[in-house]
Amino acid sequence: MAIEKRVFGRSGHRSTAVIFGGAALGRVDQGVADRVLDVLLEHGVNHIDTAARYGDAELRIGKWMDSHRDKFFLASKTGERDYTGARDGIRRSLERLRTDRLDLIQLHALFHPDEWEKALGAGGALEACIEAREAGLVKHIGVTGHGWTVAAMHRRSLQRFDFDSVLMPWNWFAANHATYAPDFRRTLELCEQRNVAVQTIKGVARGPWAAGAERTRSTWYQPLEAMADIRPAVHWVLSQPGLFLCAPGDVTLLPLVLQAAAEPIVRPDDATMQALGERTGLSSIFGL
């Protein structure tokens, strides 16, 4: 079975419903990265999301681009907030990724009000992104973020600028969060009205690592690990029309997520998801 392709907002690109999260390559060597590429090609994944902040990820992906650039919708991010830093950062990402263009550049982790004002104001990072788009270095501009305030901040961002995509957390736990869930749904509705692509992250997050626990995965949070848990979590997200799921930042979990996504997507009922939450102890990775 092939992973479903969905239109990525106004870009018109038919991206696989699961997007490869480049954070998984931040601390691996090129040999491991090349084996990940084989997995992506095997499953037909055609969309990569990375960032300048993800360690060596852009360098690892850059080697792939020498022979596979046209197979992927390629997105990166800038965490800079000022014009000069973002301008130089975008060009550095192009060099590291060994390409002359990005399909999407995103303002990375934009949720703090002070940083928001700087990035979207005069002399801010957004100006550099617009300039890069006008120069043909990038095609589209998006915004990303974490935390329980980010859906509301994305709505604010969309009121300031007509972004092409947003990225924010979504999973069963988040859908039952008293303030985040309604914020997410309002932002999703606005994105649907404007044909803005909606990428979701943390779809297989379980909770924070316990204090003193051995971290057996490269994710900063503890993920779900058993296929019996990953499958309903993945299906729950992907059963919602139009949403994309960014794969977790761990190369060993990637095949399980892709396998689950390649199966017929059947939305788990609330009882199934409630049982998953109780069985695995789903909890907040962002505090209250």
Domain ranges of the chain: 5-280
Token pair 């390559």: residue = 25
Q: From first to last of the 288 residues of the chain, give the pLDDT tens digit.
A: 789 999 999 999 999 999 999 999 999 999 999 999 999 999 999 999 999 999 999 999 999 999 999 999 999 999 999 999 999 999 999 999 999 999 999 999 999 999 999 999 999 999 999 999 999 999 999 999 999 999 999 999 999 999 999 999 999 999 999 999 999 999 999 999 999 999 999 999 999 999 988 999 999 999 999 999 999 999 999 999 999 999 999 999 999 999 999 999 999 999 999 999 999 999 999 987
Helix/strand/coil (H, E, C) string of the chain?
CCCCEEECHHHCCEEECEEEEHHHHCCCCHHHHHHHHHHHHHHCCCEEECCCCCCCHHHHHHHHHHHHHHHCEEEEEECCCEHHHHHHHHHHHHHHHCCCCEEEEEECCCCCHHHHHHHHCCCEHHHHHHHHHHCCCEEEEEEECCCCCHHHHHHHHHHHCCCCEEEEECCHHHHCCCCHHHHHHHHHHHHHHHCCEEEEECCCEEECCCCCCCCCCCCCCEECCCHHHHHHHHHHHHCCCCEEEECCCCCCCHHHHHHHHHCCCCCCCHHHHHHHHHHHCCCCCCCC
CB 103 within 8 A of CB 75: yes
| CATH placement of domain 5-280 | 3.20.20.100
Please report, as a single letter, which amino acid is at residue 63: K
The sign of the CA dihedral 21, 27, 28, 30 is positive
- Token pair, residue 283, equals 């909890």
